[in-house]
Each structure stands twice: as C-alpha cells, then as structure tokens.
Amino acid sequence: MDLKRSVAVMACLGALAGCDSGKPGDRIVAQAGTHELTVQDVVDLLAGAQFPNEGEVIGALANFWVDYTLIAIAAQEDADLRNVDLEPVLLPQFEREIIQLYREASVQADTAIDDSSLRALWDESPPEGRVHARHILLTLPDQATDEQRDSVFNAMNAIRQRIEAGESFSALAIEFSQDPGSKPRGGDLGWFERDQMVRPFEEAAFALQPDEISDIVQTPFGFHLIRVDERETPEFESERDDFRIQVVAQRLRSADSVFLATVEADGGVTVRDGALEVVRELGRAPWQPLNRRATKRTLVEYAGGSLTAGDIQQFLQTRAPEFAGQVQQASDGPLESLLLDLARERLLVGKATDSGIEIDPARRDSLIEVTRDQLVQAADQLGIRRITPIQGESPSGALERTVRGIIHSVLDGSINVIPLGVVTSSLRAEYDGRVLNTGLLKAMERLEEVRGVQGALPLPVRPTPDSAAQSQDPPATAADSAG
C-alpha cells in the first residue's frame, strides 16, 4: 500500500471515527493512560527497520504498544492482575453457554426409537459400508489443451479395452499408472469409506460391484480407471447401537434447525440498507475509534432490540485479524448471514434470560480464573508483570523503557509476539488506551521523509485472541472471552 492509498484509507476510516484523533494534536500516535507513543517514537522504532511505511504497519505497532503498556500499568497496581475486569471480556463465552442451555431445554425431538422402528430406518437407507478398490491414473499436464486432454483420454481408453480383452488390471496398473503410491501394488488403494476420496472418484467406486470396471473418471488428478475388488456392508445387529446414536443425533439437529429458524422468524430480524458496507469498513480497521453518532448507528433491527455499528466493532475486535479481513472482502450473502446470526444470538440470549437460565456461578468463576492465569502467564513471558526501575528511574520511566524494549525486540525478531488479546479491551476503556488517526498519518509522513516508502517483511499482527486470549471451545481461555 503506497502513502496516498494509506491516506485515503485513513480518511475513509475517519468518516466513521470522527475527528477525536485531532484533540491531542498530530504529535501523538497512541496513548495508554498517561503514557504516550509519539510520532518521533515511531520514527525511531521503524526508521532502520525492514518494514514498509504503511498505515497498517504503524497501526499494528501502535496497538502492540497500547496493549503491552496497559497490562504493565495494571501490573504496577496489582502484580496478580486482580484489578483487570474480565467479566466484560468473558461475556460472549457466558452468553454462548447460556444459549446452549436454553436450546437444550427448548428443543424437542422424538429420541425414543424401538428396535423395529430402528430396523425400518436402516432398511430404508442402509449404510454403504466400504470398498476395497484399485485404480489406474493417467495425469494431465498443467493447463492442458483440448488436444492434450483428448490424447490422455484416448490412452486410457486403450488401456480399458485391453482390460476388457482379458488382460490383468493389476499388471496394467504397474505398467501404466502414474500414481506413485499405488502403482507398485497394482493400483491397490486398500479399503476406504465415503468422504475419503474426491467426489467423482468416490461416486464411481461406490457404484461398482466386485470385479466391475468403471468408465473413465476425471478428477483434479487426471483420468482414472477403477476396479472394486471387495465390498463390505455392515450388518444391522452389529451396528445397531451406533446407528441409533446417529439417528438420534440427526433428529436433534433437525429439531434444533427448526427451532432456530422459528426464533429468527418470530424475531423479525431486518438488515438495514447500507449496513453491509458499514460492516466492511469496520472490518478494514476494527480497532479504530468511532465517534458517538457512528457507534449508535443501527445496522440490524429485531424484536426488542438492534445491533449497532458499535456492537459489530466490538464483535470484530474479539476475532483474529484474518477474520476482519475476510469480513472486509466478503460478498453480500455471507455478510448478511453473519449479521442475521448475531441478531439471532441476541434473541436467544434474551429468551434464555427471560426463562431464568443462567450460567452456573462456579463455572463463571472458573472461566474467569483460567483467563486471568493465562493473562498472568503472558505478562510474565513479556517481562512486564514485575518491572524493576534502574537507579534514578521512576516506575513510569521503567514501564516505558520496558515496553519500548519489547517492541524493539519484536521488530528485530529476537522475540516472538505474545498476543494479549481482547482482555485489554476493558483496560482501554478504563485507562483511555487508543490509537489516533492523525498521529498515524503524521508518522507515515515523517517516515517517508526519513527513509522513504520501502517494501519489506510484514509486521506481525496486533495482539488478538490467538494466544493468551484465544479459544472457541470450553474449557475457556482468554480467547473464549472473545467469543
């Protein structure tokens, strides 16, 4: 991204963020409590570093600095980080578990199936089991022409005619097949079940009876001839228990799908005009501050509530950076589905709460403690939990020196990034931690003056839920907090 394009992106984001970045002047790139990351600080850090002069790079660096500084501030007040309020951070995880409890209590499905009914279901659609097959493969050149494709097809057809004339499939596989794995074994692929081969190959193989030869089958690997040597079809008696579990699971999934569709329909979920483009802009820079009016802009309406731009921004901040990038590039269909899903979750949380469903207090406390322990471990890895001033240095000065040293070490590759994740979101609100638009642009201008725009290795992305705060599944981590 060149400087002009970066400025244009920042200006676009400024329409959402407003002019709050101008209040401290264009000298400051970021602030965390009383600490400041200045334009000159950024120039000092990046002037000799092999990173491109881009807004995304400087923004990532600034966000690292903010999050590390905030945790260091919190640790100076309480080394055990008990002063970090993790309730808001873990709220998405709590809500997911409440929704699951509500769905389990609400979804009704006929799961009592006697043996005769189960046998009838088995007979209606018996499992296909598995097949033991072998093949001959002739590959195609990259970007094959029609003439090349016809040539390979005709060669395979000649092989098939020789098999039909009585020659050994295995011998011809050894002679002609271009699959190095199965060729020495006469094309033997062993036993396989459904969903283990590419779809055209699988469909052809499972359509064959033992000793039958397929027509010529094309897959991304080339042209195949397939022969099935054996088939195994499971017996009802031996598979009854597993089959019962499958049927029950399928009925529960179907009932759950109907239940969720009903919730969405009853909730009257509506995506506002222009909402998708706003979401894409938020995906461009999810940590960029919004002004009050932009924060409150309604994007989705539903019975009893709405989703605002602020809600979506907060959601994006709890996801890995690549997710925000995917949102930015997403087409209308997937993006609208995302908004509908988020609105449905809101509806479900409301219904669960109205039903008196809540997460068990012991479970809540456990999630908080696990998350706090991970945050402490991350702070220890960074060396910012117990910062010792050197002679004549103030605690504030020691903090700034330590965080700058960490950033230097990340830039020169001597240490790996330790992401802290969205656990810092509550600290940003408490200590006024933020990155400023005008400061970012000014830093880009100064860097251009100092060493020009140059391409190089990308800066590691800003701290996200991938480490001390990342997991989507229980047991929760700090990332569970991120939802």
Residues of the chain above pLDDT 70, percent? 87
Mean pLDDT of the chain, nearest integer: 84
C-alpha–C-alpha distance, residues 369 and 478, integer Å = 10
Mean pLDDT of 346-353: 91
Predicted local distance difference test score (pLDDT) of residue 392: 92
Task: Find out whether 482 and 89 touch, Cβ atoms under 8 Å.
Answer: yes
C-alpha–C-alpha distance, residues 417 and 433, integer Å = 20
Task: Find out whether 189 and 228 touch, Cβ atoms under 8 Å.
Answer: no
Enclosing H/E stretch for 229: strand 222-232
Report pTM: 0.61
Mean pLDDT of 362-391: 92
Predicted local distance difference test score (pLDDT) of residue 110: 77
Mean pLDDT of 402-416: 91
Q: What is the CATH T-level fold of the domain 128-232, as seen in this structure?
A: Chitinase A; domain 3 (3.10.50)
**252-262: pLDDT as tens digits:** 888 888 888 88
pLDDT band at 481 (very low <50, low <70, confident <90, very high): very low
**95-151: pLDDT as tens digits:** 999 998 988 888 877 778 888 999 998 988 888 889 999 999 999 998 899 999 999
Angle formed at CA 230 by CA 229 and CA 231, multiple of 5 degrees: 140
- Find tokens 């699988």 and name the residue: 202
Domain boundaries, the chain: 3-79+363-482, 128-232, 268-354
- CA distances 378 to 50, 384, 400, 421, 431, Å, are 26, 9, 18, 10, 20
Predicted local distance difference test score (pLDDT) of residue 289: 74
Quote the crossing angle between the two packed helices 332-354 and 275-284, to the nearest 10°.
Answer: 100
Looking at the predicted structure, is the pLDDT value of residue 465 above 60?
A: no
Enclosing H/E stretch for 209: none
